[in-house]
Amino acid sequence: MTQLPSISFTSLSAEPRAGTAVYFAAEGEGVPAHLQKLDAASGGTIAKAIQVSAFKGKRKSVIEILAPYGLPAGRVLIAGAGDLKSLNAREWMDIGGAVRGKMPAKTAQADIFFSGLETLTGEAALAFAFGYGLRSYAFKKYKSKAPAGAEGEPGAQENGGTTPGLTVFSDWGEGLAQAFEKYTAVSEGLYLARDLVNEPANVLTPPEFTGRLRALEAEGLEVEVLDERALKSLGMNALLAVGQGSAQPSSAVILRWDGTARTSSRQRSLVFIGKGVCFDTGGISIKPAQGMEDMKGDMAGAAAVAGAMLALARRKAPVRAAGLVGLVENMPSGTAIRPGDIVTSASGQTIEILNTDAEGRLVLADLLWYAQTHLEPKLIVTLATLTGAILVALGKENAGLFSNDDALASQITEAGLDTGETAWRLPLSKKYNKTIDSKLADMKNIGGRDAGSITAAQFLQRFVNSGTLWAHLDIAGTAMASPATDINHSWGSGYGVRLLDRFCEKFHES
């Protein structure tokens, strides 16, 4: 897995050692009072830099001073914090990412002086360090030479590049280290998800993905694998139909974490289900060549579930949860499913295949049945890069959210707002449901051109039992080919890991 940067915490009285020092300035204060002594030692260099760059301290603005006269640090950065009254933890996280983005790739270590501003808290310092670490991610595994990197581009980590570390100097000193362990756990889950999404499909085949999930047993997760033989015996024919055209065998993997007190009356599980189509050609209904390379990311739902489960295990979350992923490859061949075929799902419901490129819902249909039959769900959340239509509706700023329960939908929405992994709720109704009725089977796997994301969710809802709390996140616009943000410049964003972790922490931990 891509390596996280080293992040440590110490007191303001400790001796700085890094060649790069970072200080903060509030909006509109010129040379901050806490930097005036430093400015005097530099012969007015800081004041001159602020004047020349017209630096106003606006949030996430950063100025860089190289080789400042009279100062021990070879590089000084001053980061704008903006209006202090409106700062919250999420914005401190973004500031951390913005500062990391201004670090040259060859920076080995940075000292951050978290002082001099009113209303500073330990939580703000933790959030800053968290954002710094998230922005440090770079997937350079297949670069034969370590790239030098550019501003905003972290250097290679797995082939000789640097991973700039961070020391946070503050009034809270080393006391923040223990509190930061939670953030480290979530970062590791997010890095795992990003790594999985970024891997090429010739490497991350269903068996390889399965092997990487087996390795999570070392992190405290219970791992169970259902191979093709087991899937056939369970009648999971919808999932198997998607992969039957591929030379790669399909599988389903169950990840379990129980951080609750072990009693005779165990709690039911929060169940997270992820679509894991390791490559999606569209099958016989083959996709256009342009952009098909992006379909290596069609397993981002499974990656998010894996990352979230790792985060729960690493921080020993007091919750009982299960992650369930279906790992398949959708290929055209003489054994592939065809338009017009009818398959019988594990639930017994029959599905007429009109388009083999609407395959993710077939995988999730059987996983929903398995979860309700075998995993004692308290609730179920499905995550999938399910439809291109969700990009038409919401672009890349929000995932599409569907749910049969208002309270569950509100919890997911709130967790999304807390983390910045936002979701927008879309409707479900009987009128939309009628569009997937089939004359030959119980349902067809597409509902026509209109409301494609909604009809896909309606399809999934047919496999949710009455009384089961369920929500679905369509993450096709947010999980891959992601727009650059303050905390991510990676093609795979890892969307869903922080949202699910926050959802557990805020609403479901004992």
Cα distances (Å, whole numbers) of residue 165 to 133, 183, 267, 315: 9, 15, 40, 21
Which are the contacts of 102, defined by CB distance < 8 A and separation ≥ 6? 62, 64, 77, 151, 152
Per the DSSP assignment, residues forming a β-bridge with 103 are: none
> Do residues 62 and 53 make contact, with C-beta atoms less than 8 angstroms apart?
no
Q: What is the pLDDT of residue 510?
A: 83
The amino acid at 17: R
Give catalytic residues, as residue numbers: 287, 361
Q: Which domains does the chain have, with CATH numbers?
A: 7-171 (3.40.220.10), 208-507 (3.40.630.10)
* pLDDT of the residue at 1: 87
Contacts of 369 (CB under 8 A, 6+ apart): 236, 345, 346, 347, 463
Nearest to 476 by CA among 326, 282, 302, 300: 300
Token pair for 37 = 């002594």
271 bridge partner residues: 322, 380
The closest of 460, 395, 381, 384 to 424, measured between CA atoms, is 395
For tokens 């914090």, what's the residue?
81
Q: Residue 263: what pLDDT?
A: 56
pLDDT at res. 455? 98
Sheet holding 423-425, edge to edge: 222-226, 251-258, 320-330, 269-280, 377-384, 470-474, 399-403, 423-425
| 3-class secondary-structure state, position 62 | strand
Complete DSSP assignment for 93-136: HHHHHHHHHTS-TT--EEEEE--SSTT--HHHHHHHHHHHHHHT
Closest to 278 (Cα-Cα) out of 340, 363, 163: 363
- Which SS3 state, helix, strand or coil, does residue 456 take? helix
| Residue 239 tokens, joined | 């999932």
At 202, is the secondary structure helix, strand, or coil?
coil
pLDDT tens by residue, the chain, 510 residues:
899 999 999 999 999 989 999 999 999 888 999 999 999 999 999 999 999 999 999 999 999 999 999 999 999 999 999 999 989 999 999 999 999 999 887 777 999 999 999 889 999 999 999 999 999 999 999 998 765 554 445 544 444 445 679 999 999 999 999 999 999 999 999 999 999 999 999 999 999 999 999 999 999 999 999 999 999 999 999 999 999 999 999 999 999 999 997 654 568 999 999 999 999 999 999 999 999 999 999 999 999 999 999 999 999 999 999 999 999 999 999 999 999 999 999 999 999 999 999 999 999 999 999 999 999 999 999 999 999 999 999 999 999 999 999 999 999 999 999 999 999 999 999 999 999 999 999 999 999 889 999 999 999 999 999 999 999 999 999 999 988 999 999 999 999 999 999 999 999 998
Scan for tokens 């004359």, then name that residue: 439
Query: What pLDDT shows up at residue 181?
Result: 98
pTM: 0.95
Q: What is the full DSSP assignment across 77-101?
A: EEEEEE-GGG--HHHHHHHHHHHHH
